Amino acid sequence: MIRKAVLPVAGFGTRCLPASKAIPKEMITIVDKPVIQYVVQEAVKAGIKEIVLVTHSSKSAIENHFDKHFELETQLEAKGKKELLDELRNIIPDDVSIISVRQPEALGLGHAILCARPVIGDDAPFAVLLPDVLVDDEGMTRNDLGGMIDAYDQTGAAQIMVQNVPAEVAYKYGIVALEGETPEAGKSEKITGMVEKPETGTEPSTLAVIGRYLLPGSIFPVLAETRPGAGNEIQLTDAIDTLRSKQDVAAYRMEGETFDCGHQLGYLEATLSFARRHPKYGEGFRELLKRYQSEA
């Protein structure tokens, strides 16, 4: 069972400026929780017990969010605000550990993951979750990350989560090439390669990589030998391409829905989706939507 996950959160989030100037982009809220909390809770729901944050000196707010705040909790308890106190104490379960490691330089996603090597080790498989993407599992008994873990356990193949996208927008994404047919949602198929932002009409499929990976620990020595690629950065896709020569890598077609929170419209869309069904604010939010629709 895969119990460890790496979350690379060291980036400056320039696409989210000016909101991300003074606070990490991962701490921008969707309704009443920062986006990083949704991502961590997704991992925990899939059975992950160790969360490794690959971070930067400017991102201490993320670490603080998952740490105990004794003074605040004492104040809430004294004022009888039990509901808020319970929310703070249950951000993550007691049996889940949050570990931080630093990425000293912005040398790419592959380098960020390599920074977690001393914590993960070369023998244990692990998950990678990019915090720019929220994966919604509404109505599902098992989330997509859990499905990927099951696929890894059954086949031993590294897994890359993909989402079917319209052909006319495939040029915006990293697209996988498959050995066989496009898998059903919740299933995986061996890949033969990945193409980053293909020219329209040349895409090998319409399955786009969306920021969730299950990788063997053996990816670390591959990353250590991977030379800088696009943007003069160490690219995870280059390392995965090398890994394919040694073992199978499969594309797992997700069942849920994704929201790209790397830019403002993605945050707004995620807010609309999560707010309309929020247990506390959903009813009031739906009334607000009706009001603004009538005024449009």
The whole-number pLDDT of residue 214 equals 97
Q: Which of 139, 129, 136 is nearest to 271 (CA)?
A: 136
How many CB atoms lie under 10 A from the CB of residue 35?
24
The whole-number pLDDT of residue 11 equals 82
The whole-number pLDDT of residue 293 equals 85
Low-confidence ranges of the chain (pLDDT < 50): none
For the chain, give percent helix, strand, coil, nearest 5: 40, 25, 40
The whole-number pLDDT of residue 296 equals 63
The whole-number pLDDT of residue 194 equals 86
Are the CB atoms for 233 and 108 separated by under 8 Å? yes
Q: Which of 291, 262, 232 is nearest to 11 (CA)?
A: 262
> Which pTM does this prediction carry?
0.93
> What are 211's two structure tokens?
């920021």
Residue carrying the six token digits 């356990």? 153
Max Cα-Cα span within the chain: 64
The CATH code for residues 4-157+210-260 is: 3.90.550.10
Boundaries of every domain in the chain = 4-157+210-260
Q: How far apart are CA 145 and CA 132, in angstroms?
A: 16
The burial of 294, by beta-carbon neighbours within 10 Å (0-12 exposed, 13-18 middle, 19 or more buried), is given as exposed
